[in-house]
Protein backbone atom coordinates (compact mmCIF):
# COMPACT_ATOMS: atom_id res chain seq x y z
CA UNK A 1 0.00 0.00 0.00
CA UNK A 2 1.23 3.50 -0.85
CA UNK A 3 3.05 5.08 2.14
CA UNK A 4 0.64 3.37 4.54
CA UNK A 5 -2.31 5.22 3.03
CA UNK A 6 -5.63 3.45 3.37
CA UNK A 7 -7.09 3.14 -0.13
CA UNK A 8 -10.66 2.29 -1.13
CA UNK A 9 -11.50 1.43 -4.73
CA UNK A 10 -15.22 1.56 -5.50
CA UNK A 11 -17.43 0.50 -8.39
CA UNK A 12 -21.20 0.43 -8.82
CA UNK A 13 -22.75 -2.60 -10.52
CA UNK A 14 -25.97 -3.43 -12.28
CA UNK A 15 -25.91 -6.52 -14.51
CA UNK A 16 -22.12 -6.78 -14.80
CA UNK A 17 -21.77 -10.52 -14.24
CA UNK A 18 -19.58 -10.85 -17.36
CA UNK A 19 -17.12 -8.20 -16.17
CA UNK A 20 -17.02 -8.12 -12.38
CA UNK A 21 -14.58 -10.98 -11.81
CA UNK A 22 -12.02 -9.52 -14.23
CA UNK A 23 -12.46 -6.06 -12.70
CA UNK A 24 -11.82 -7.24 -9.14
CA UNK A 25 -8.85 -9.36 -10.22
CA UNK A 26 -7.41 -6.37 -12.08
CA UNK A 27 -7.74 -4.07 -9.07
CA UNK A 28 -5.99 -6.62 -6.86
CA UNK A 29 -3.23 -7.03 -9.44
CA UNK A 30 -2.34 -3.35 -9.71
CA UNK A 31 -3.15 -2.26 -6.14
CA UNK A 32 -2.50 -5.28 -3.92
CA UNK A 33 -3.98 -5.17 -0.40
CA UNK A 34 -6.34 -2.35 -1.35
CA UNK A 35 -9.89 -2.47 -0.03
CA UNK A 36 -12.55 -2.91 -2.72
CA UNK A 37 -16.17 -1.82 -2.30
CA UNK A 38 -18.90 -2.87 -4.72
CA UNK A 39 -22.42 -1.44 -4.48
CA UNK A 40 -24.92 -3.54 -6.41
CA UNK A 41 -28.46 -2.43 -7.25
CA UNK A 42 -30.07 -5.88 -7.08
CA UNK A 43 -28.71 -7.03 -10.47
CA UNK A 44 -31.16 -9.44 -12.16
CA UNK A 45 -28.18 -11.30 -13.69
CA UNK A 46 -26.91 -12.11 -10.15
CA UNK A 47 -23.70 -10.09 -10.32
CA UNK A 48 -23.88 -9.96 -6.53
CA UNK A 49 -23.58 -13.75 -6.28
CA UNK A 50 -20.23 -13.68 -8.09
CA UNK A 51 -19.03 -11.00 -5.67
CA UNK A 52 -20.13 -13.09 -2.69
CA UNK A 53 -18.17 -16.01 -4.10
CA UNK A 54 -15.04 -13.88 -4.47
CA UNK A 55 -15.50 -12.46 -0.97
CA UNK A 56 -14.95 -15.91 0.53
CA UNK A 57 -11.31 -15.74 -0.55
CA UNK A 58 -10.78 -12.00 -0.16
CA UNK A 59 -11.19 -10.28 3.21
CA UNK A 60 -10.60 -6.89 1.58
CA UNK A 61 -13.64 -7.15 -0.72
CA UNK A 62 -16.91 -5.66 0.55
CA UNK A 63 -20.38 -5.67 -0.96
CA UNK A 64 -23.34 -3.40 -0.29
CA UNK A 65 -26.55 -4.83 -1.74
CA UNK A 66 -29.44 -2.49 -2.40
CA UNK A 67 -33.00 -3.64 -2.88
CA UNK A 68 -33.57 -1.85 -6.17
CA UNK A 69 -31.93 0.32 -8.80
CA UNK A 70 -31.25 3.59 -6.98
CA UNK A 71 -28.87 5.19 -9.45
CA UNK A 72 -25.19 6.03 -9.91
CA UNK A 73 -25.29 9.28 -7.99
CA UNK A 74 -26.57 7.70 -4.78
CA UNK A 75 -24.10 4.81 -5.11
CA UNK A 76 -21.16 7.21 -5.39
CA UNK A 77 -22.39 9.27 -2.45
CA UNK A 78 -22.73 6.10 -0.39
CA UNK A 79 -19.15 5.12 -1.28
CA UNK A 80 -17.87 8.59 -0.38
CA UNK A 81 -19.53 8.39 3.04
CA UNK A 82 -18.23 4.85 3.48
CA UNK A 83 -14.68 6.11 2.87
CA UNK A 84 -15.10 8.88 5.44
CA UNK A 85 -16.77 6.71 8.08
CA UNK A 86 -14.13 3.99 7.75
CA UNK A 87 -11.20 6.40 7.87
CA UNK A 88 -9.80 5.85 4.38
CA UNK A 89 -7.26 8.32 3.01
CA UNK A 90 -7.95 7.86 -0.71
CA UNK A 91 -11.09 6.92 -2.63
CA UNK A 92 -10.86 5.88 -6.28
CA UNK A 93 -14.06 5.34 -8.26
CA UNK A 94 -14.32 3.49 -11.55
CA UNK A 95 -16.77 1.81 -13.92
CA UNK A 96 -17.45 -1.91 -13.65
CA UNK A 97 -17.65 -2.58 -17.40
CA UNK A 98 -13.85 -2.60 -17.90
CA UNK A 99 -13.89 0.68 -19.81
CA UNK A 100 -11.51 1.89 -17.09
CA UNK A 101 -8.27 -0.09 -17.04
CA UNK A 102 -7.06 -1.05 -13.53
CA UNK A 103 -3.47 -0.66 -14.74
CA UNK A 104 -4.00 3.12 -14.41
CA UNK A 105 -4.72 2.85 -10.67
CA UNK A 106 -1.09 3.35 -9.51
CA UNK A 107 -0.98 6.63 -11.46
CA UNK A 108 -3.97 7.88 -9.47
CA UNK A 109 -2.19 7.07 -6.20
CA UNK A 110 0.97 8.82 -7.40
CA UNK A 111 -0.93 12.02 -8.21
CA UNK A 112 -3.10 11.97 -5.08
CA UNK A 113 0.07 12.60 -3.11
CA UNK A 114 0.09 16.14 -4.55
CA UNK A 115 -3.52 16.85 -5.54
CA UNK A 116 -6.80 16.43 -3.61
CA UNK A 117 -8.75 15.42 -6.73
CA UNK A 118 -7.57 13.48 -9.78
CA UNK A 119 -9.63 12.63 -12.86
CA UNK A 120 -8.73 10.10 -15.53
CA UNK A 121 -9.10 11.89 -18.84
CA UNK A 122 -9.61 10.58 -22.36
CA UNK A 123 -9.21 14.03 -23.82
CA UNK A 124 -6.11 15.45 -22.17
CA UNK A 125 -2.69 15.06 -23.80
CA UNK A 126 -1.78 11.38 -23.95
CA UNK A 127 -5.33 10.18 -23.32
CA UNK A 128 -7.18 7.86 -25.70
CA UNK A 129 -10.82 6.97 -26.27
CA UNK A 130 -11.46 3.68 -28.05
CA UNK A 131 -15.20 4.16 -28.50
CA UNK A 132 -16.37 4.30 -32.10
CA UNK A 133 -18.99 5.93 -34.27
CA UNK A 134 -21.85 7.93 -32.80
CA UNK A 135 -20.85 7.29 -29.17
CA UNK A 136 -17.37 8.71 -29.73
CA UNK A 137 -18.73 11.77 -31.55
CA UNK A 138 -21.27 12.50 -28.82
CA UNK A 139 -18.69 11.99 -26.06
CA UNK A 140 -16.21 14.42 -27.62
CA UNK A 141 -18.94 16.92 -28.48
CA UNK A 142 -20.51 16.72 -25.04
CA UNK A 143 -17.28 17.22 -23.13
CA UNK A 144 -16.25 20.14 -25.36
CA UNK A 145 -19.64 21.83 -24.90
CA UNK A 146 -19.41 21.44 -21.13
CA UNK A 147 -15.89 22.87 -21.08
CA UNK A 148 -16.89 25.87 -23.22
CA UNK A 149 -20.12 26.71 -21.41
CA UNK A 150 -18.97 26.04 -17.84
CA UNK A 151 -15.55 27.69 -18.08
CA UNK A 152 -14.13 24.95 -15.85
CA UNK A 153 -10.49 24.12 -16.59
CA UNK A 154 -10.84 20.46 -17.51
CA UNK A 155 -11.05 18.42 -20.70
CA UNK A 156 -12.99 15.59 -19.05
CA UNK A 157 -16.35 15.89 -17.30
CA UNK A 158 -18.30 12.69 -17.77
CA UNK A 159 -16.09 9.86 -16.55
CA UNK A 160 -16.33 8.18 -13.16
CA UNK A 161 -12.63 7.25 -13.09
CA UNK A 162 -11.64 9.66 -10.34
CA UNK A 163 -9.55 9.85 -7.19
CA UNK A 164 -10.29 11.75 -3.98
CA UNK A 165 -7.87 12.59 -1.19
CA UNK A 166 -10.61 12.34 1.41
CA UNK A 167 -8.76 14.09 4.22
CA UNK A 168 -7.53 17.04 2.15
CA UNK A 169 -10.69 18.12 0.32
CA UNK A 170 -11.27 21.14 2.56
CA UNK A 171 -15.00 21.97 2.58
CA UNK A 172 -15.89 19.74 -0.36
CA UNK A 173 -18.77 17.33 0.22
CA UNK A 174 -20.11 15.02 -2.47
CA UNK A 175 -23.52 15.20 -0.79
CA UNK A 176 -23.84 18.76 -2.11
CA UNK A 177 -23.90 17.59 -5.75
CA UNK A 178 -27.57 17.69 -6.77
CA UNK A 179 -27.43 16.41 -10.35
CA UNK A 180 -28.66 12.87 -10.85
CA UNK A 181 -27.62 9.92 -13.02
CA UNK A 182 -24.67 10.42 -15.35
CA UNK A 183 -24.89 14.21 -14.95
CA UNK A 184 -23.68 13.63 -11.41
CA UNK A 185 -20.10 13.38 -12.66
CA UNK A 186 -20.32 16.78 -14.33
CA UNK A 187 -21.97 18.23 -11.23
CA UNK A 188 -19.04 17.05 -9.12
CA UNK A 189 -16.64 19.26 -11.07
CA UNK A 190 -18.89 22.28 -10.54
CA UNK A 191 -18.83 21.57 -6.80
CA UNK A 192 -15.04 21.21 -6.82
CA UNK A 193 -14.63 24.54 -8.60
CA UNK A 194 -17.04 26.17 -6.17
CA UNK A 195 -14.69 25.12 -3.36
CA UNK A 196 -11.57 26.25 -5.27
CA UNK A 197 -10.20 22.72 -5.51
CA UNK A 198 -7.75 22.09 -8.33
CA UNK A 199 -8.74 19.43 -10.86
CA UNK A 200 -5.75 17.32 -11.84
CA UNK A 201 -6.16 15.42 -15.13
CA UNK A 202 -4.14 12.32 -15.91
CA UNK A 203 -4.30 10.56 -19.29
CA UNK A 204 -6.10 7.23 -19.50
CA UNK A 205 -7.16 4.89 -22.28
CA UNK A 206 -10.93 4.49 -22.25
CA UNK A 207 -11.93 1.08 -23.60
CA UNK A 208 -15.25 0.44 -25.28
CA UNK A 209 -17.45 -2.10 -23.52
CA UNK A 210 -16.86 -5.63 -24.86
CA UNK A 211 -19.32 -7.57 -22.71
CA UNK A 212 -22.76 -6.75 -21.36
CA UNK A 213 -25.07 -3.89 -22.27
CA UNK A 214 -24.50 -0.16 -21.79
CA UNK A 215 -26.76 1.42 -19.15
CA UNK A 216 -26.56 4.94 -20.61
CA UNK A 217 -29.99 5.97 -21.99
CA UNK A 218 -30.03 7.62 -25.42
CA UNK A 219 -31.61 10.79 -24.03
CA UNK A 220 -28.79 11.25 -21.49
CA UNK A 221 -27.04 13.84 -23.67
CA UNK A 222 -30.12 16.06 -23.47
CA UNK A 223 -30.39 15.64 -19.70
CA UNK A 224 -26.74 16.54 -19.39
CA UNK A 225 -27.13 19.68 -21.50
CA UNK A 226 -30.15 20.75 -19.45
CA UNK A 227 -28.21 20.27 -16.23
CA UNK A 228 -25.18 22.04 -17.71
CA UNK A 229 -27.11 25.22 -18.43
CA UNK A 230 -28.81 25.09 -15.02
CA UNK A 231 -25.49 24.68 -13.19
CA UNK A 232 -23.82 27.42 -15.25
CA UNK A 233 -26.70 29.83 -14.59
CA UNK A 234 -26.60 29.05 -10.87
CA UNK A 235 -22.82 29.53 -10.82
CA UNK A 236 -22.97 32.94 -12.49
CA UNK A 237 -26.01 34.45 -10.84
CA UNK A 238 -26.11 33.03 -7.32
* pLDDT tens string 178-205: 998 888 999 999 999 999 999 999 999 9
Residue 71 Rama label (left phi>0; alpha psi -120 to 50; beta): left
> What is the rounded CA–CA span in Å between residue 108 and residue 203?
10
SS3 call for 76: helix
Which CATH number is 2-237 given? Answer: 3.90.550.10
* For residue 231, pLDDT beyond 90: no
The model carries a pTM of: 0.89
Which of 7-11, 33-37, 74-78, 150-154 is the least confident region? 150-154
* pLDDT tens string 55-91: 999 999 999 999 999 989 999 999 999 999 999 999 9
152-172 average pLDDT score: 92
Written in H, E and C, the secondary structure of 2-35 is: HHHCCEEEEEEECCCCCCHHHHHHHHHHHCCCCE
Amino acid sequence: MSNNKRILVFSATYNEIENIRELINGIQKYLPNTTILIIDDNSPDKTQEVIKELKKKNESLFLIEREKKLGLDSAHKTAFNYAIENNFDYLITMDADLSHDPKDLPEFIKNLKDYPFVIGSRYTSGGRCLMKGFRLIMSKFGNQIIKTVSGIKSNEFTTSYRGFDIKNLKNFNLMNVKTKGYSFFMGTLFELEKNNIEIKEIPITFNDRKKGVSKIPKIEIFRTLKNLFFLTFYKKFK
